[in-house]
Amino acid sequence: MAIKKSDLYASIWASCDELRGGMDASQYKDYVLFMLFIKYISDKYANSQDFAPPVFIPAGASFADMVALKGKPGIGDKINTDIIRPLIEANERLARSDFPDFNDPNKLGEGQAMVDRLSNLIGIFEKPELDFSANRAEHDDILGDAYEYLMRHFATESGKSKGQFYTPSEVSRVIAQVIGISPQNTKASTTAYDPTCGSGSLLLKVAAQAGRHITLEGQEMDVTTAGLARMNMILHDFPTANIQQGNTLAAPKFKDGEQLRTYDYVVANPPFSVKTWSVGLTPERDPYQRFAWGAPPAKQGDYAFLLHIIRSMKSTGKGACILPHGVLFRGNAEAAIRRKLVDSGILKGVIGLPTNLFYGTGIPACILVLDKENAGARRGVLMIDASRGYIKDGNKNRLREQDIHRIVDSFHKAADLPRYARMVPLSEIADPRNDYNLNLPRYIDSSEPEDLHDIEAHLRGGIPERDLDDPASPLAAYWQVMPSLRRALFSPLPAGEGPGERVRPGYCHPTLPLQDVRAAIFSHPEFTAFKQAVTQRFGAWRTQATVQLSAFDKGHHPKALIEQIAEDLLDGFKTAPLLDAYDIYQRLMDYWASVMQDDAYLITADGWVAKPARIIEIDKKGKRKDKGWICELIPKPLIVARFFAAEQAALEAMQIELEATSASLAELEEEHSGEDAAFAGFDKINAKQVKDRIKEIGSDTEAEDERAVLKRWLQLSERESKLKTAMKEQDAALDALAYAKYPTLSEAEIKALVIDDKWMARLTTDVQAELERVSQRLTGRLRELVERYQTPLPRLIDEVASLAVKVDGHLAKMAIAWS
């Protein structure tokens, strides 16, 4: 059975988090990630027949040997000496500092507490479904993604001061794409470097975008984090990546002779505004000439890292660096460096990001995109303000798939997009009014246009035509698609007035009551035609995607699949009016993340096979209990809907009758439960008490009404009981029919159930929801305008005067004079 990605991630995190106890997340992560690492390399390389496996596992130092230590005194010391030490001695790229101390009582507890905690931690990774021997990396790696999942969660838990080891993968992906690396322009000798690599996630995203094994090098100041990076490289199938530990600014490790080594691609997310950046070096006498444009401020290290990056780029090199927004506009020494940077032409773009994306800080940041190739001919800087595109995710913000795509698309097109992107000429940046200040609001006004009120409309009524028809109005795009709808909803004449009335130029009036507007929009032929056009676009994509999805099979790559069909969907809707193609794209990507991805990984592991699995629970006494069955790829409702619709309809009819019977029973009890009523003396209303009471009444003529109520209760109760029994039997029969159907399914039927009934049915609903949003935005804006101006000032004055007269009349009746 294939490992379901979401289940793998969630179960590992939940189990590990439960065992953490009082240990700080930033420390506990080192133990958990080592367990994942040792399990993976043991499964993949312990029995390797390769002449020179990327990781050599000495005899006695595998995960199986750790399992043998469970429950034994001294387990922590034995892990250190019998597992970790031989691994380090056998693999020169690994160092003792890469791994945590498994015999630290301050973190793991003393005596039996340590034994129990470590034994339980080993047990989490001992589950049979966590067999990674057949797991392939190739950028579609469950383990590598699981490692990132755990790091992201640990970064979230670690707090501001300790979460800097991880760059959010969404930001890393933006950087990897805007620097332009791709399979078409890379080869094995292509080099990429991160001078502040943290746990290596940014560097690995660059490698993933390259689509092949390139040369990776990185330096990280923190000893433990450098170890995380080395493990991360191995888990992502880059065991030859060179990760060095040390201070990049004071003691760079990657040199050719006495000069800094230069690279094709350089990326970094350095710590923001480091105050001690110059410790260990004198900028004026820097042997690597990094500060020729000037020395950064003594307590502001952002430009020090940027200058190191620029110096580390080849003459045609590309780079990108995440820095705080302050680098765009701070003065003095930084202003002088910024002037040199802009004049050099190396600065290709500035991307403003949302606040609170990063784990080490909540302040807003930006990406400076660098390119030395043809720098002298560059005549502008592309500026993108992406600060408003994100989603809340716990206590952090996160870029959505559509936000990433919008940024990357805008960067590569280098086209002006109102309130989002603009190619700013160098002459404008250098103009004395701006004086090389790169603060994005100087060049891009991303604020929402002010919604101006019309004084005359407030005084005299009517809807200003400017609010409806101005090109800047949010409604103008609707009338371009549906011009006659505009004329159907608004008239130059007030409602009910004939053609003899004087028309006020520039103002119009609604033709329908507010409550009828939505129905009028939905029934209008132009809106119907718009919906049909959207449905046709989706249908064309669906036909093409179905072919691609049907061709997907065992051994294929899910990430390549979603990239292909998602790009096709985005392209198909980019010219669709009124809809945002990126919103449609996001719908697909959200569904991929929640359902389709897991399905695709099941298919790539097992093929188009749908086997139900029994759900077995084991209680504390070790007894096994069958709790039914489940099929992840094709859930039972899909089987029932396609093959047993009649049986399901009969069951639903019974359910409706049961609900009606139960409601009648409850109504009867409530109606006759008052004092002296039929059920007044009952402690609990049940069949025995009701029958006893009927027997007690006998043939008493005075209790005829009570007897009728009690007999009616018995009839309803018996019918309810029979329906419940029948439904239980029918449900069990339907369950058996569905369960028995799976082995008979052909591959074609499985594909139809998964692709048509499951995936496409959901996506069709999502597109319809986007259409619904279009109508909601239109009706919402129209409602806002109508309500704003429907009661002009003279009418308000008349209504106030009328109400004042009524109040005075009421006060007079109470002999109260109001002055």
Phi first, then psi, for residue 760 (nearest 5°) are -70, -30
Question: Exposed/middle/buried for 599, CB within 10 Å: 0-12, 13-18, 19+?
Answer: buried
Q: Which has more pLDDT, 139 or 70?
A: 70
117-157: pLDDT as tens digits: 899 889 888 876 677 775 543 444 556 667 677 777 777 77
Residue type, 208: A
> Which of 142-146, 276-280, 467-471, 636-640 comes out lowest in average pLDDT?
142-146
Q: Give the whole-angstrom CA distance, residue 801 versus residue 819.
A: 15
Q: Give the whole-angstrom CA distance, residue 586 versus residue 400.
A: 8
Alpha helices in 574-686 (DSSP H): 581-591, 597-606, 636-643, 645-671
CB 169 within 8 A of CB 201: yes
Q: Give the whole-angstrom CA distance, residue 328 versus residue 323.
A: 9
For the chain, how are helix, strand and coil distributed in percent, rounded to 5? 55, 10, 35
Tokens 């560059």 correspond to 378
- Mean pLDDT across the stretch 223-233? 87
pLDDT at residue 722 is higher than 70: yes
Q: Judging by DSSP bridges, how do beta strands 624-630 and 613-618 pair with one another?
A: antiparallel
pLDDT of residue 18: 65
CB 194 within 8 A of CB 261: no
**Number of Cα atoms under 13 Å in the Cβ half of residue 390:** 23
Three-class SS state of 6 = helix
pLDDT at residue 187 is higher than 70: yes
CA distances from 539 to 179, 569, 590, 618, 762 (A): 35, 11, 20, 47, 14
Q: Give the whole-angstrom CA distance, residue 518 versus residue 510.
A: 13
- Cα 696 to chain center, whole Å? 67
CB 280 within 8 A of CB 251: yes
Three-class SS state of 129 = coil
CA distances from 493 to 425, 483, 489, 513, 794 (A): 49, 18, 12, 15, 19
CB 217 within 8 A of CB 190: no
List of residues 6+ apart from 544 with CB closer than 8 A: 568
Q: What is the CA radius of gyration of the chain?
A: 35
List of residues 6+ apart from 787 with CB closer than 8 A: 514
Residue (of 534, 457, 520, 509) closest to 484 by Cα position = 520
Q: Give the whole-angstrom CA distance, residue 811 versus residue 796.
A: 22
Expressed in angstroms, the distance from the first to the final Cα of the chain is 86
* Exposure class string for 746-775: b at 16+ Cβ within 10 A, else e: eeebbbbbbbbbbbbeebeebbeebbeebb
Q: Give the whole-angstrom CA distance, residue 38 versus residue 405.
A: 36
pLDDT of residue 137: 39
414-451: pLDDT as tens digits: 989 999 999 999 999 999 999 999 999 999 998 887 88
CB 231 within 8 A of CB 201: no
Q: What is the DSSP letter of 295?
A: P
447-461: pLDDT as tens digits: 887 888 999 888 888
> To the nearest whole percent, how much of the chain has pLDDT over 70?
93
CB 751 within 8 A of CB 608: yes
Residue 591's pLDDT band, with cuts at 50, 70 and 90, is: very high
Q: What is the DSSP letter of 284?
A: G
Three-class SS state of 483 = helix
List of residues 6+ apart from 755 with CB closer than 8 A: 546, 549, 550
**Sign of the dihedral defined by the CA atoms of residues 515, 520, 522, 527, in that order:** negative
Three-class SS state of 266 = strand
Alpha helices in 356-445 (DSSP H): 401-413, 426-430
pLDDT of residue 335: 97
Give Dmax over CA atoms of the chain in angstroms: 116
Which helix (H) or strand (E) segment holds residue 457: the answer is helix 455-460
Residue type, 436: Y
CB 153 within 8 A of CB 163: no
CB atoms within 10 A of CB 485: 19
CB 794 within 8 A of CB 585: no
CB atoms within 10 A of CB 223: 13
308-329: pLDDT as tens digits: 999 999 999 999 999 999 999 9
CB 385 within 8 A of CB 353: no
Phi first, then psi, for residue 249 (nearest 5°) are -75, -45
**Sign of the dihedral defined by the CA atoms of residues 550, 554, 555, 558, in that order:** positive
646-680: pLDDT as tens digits: 999 999 999 999 999 999 999 998 888 877 788 88
pLDDT of residue 495: 64
pLDDT of residue 70: 93
- Mean pLDDT across the stretch 329-345? 96
Tokens 């716990």 correspond to 394
Residue 501's pLDDT band, with cuts at 50, 70 and 90, is: low
Residue (of 17, 66, 16) closest to 38 by Cα position = 66
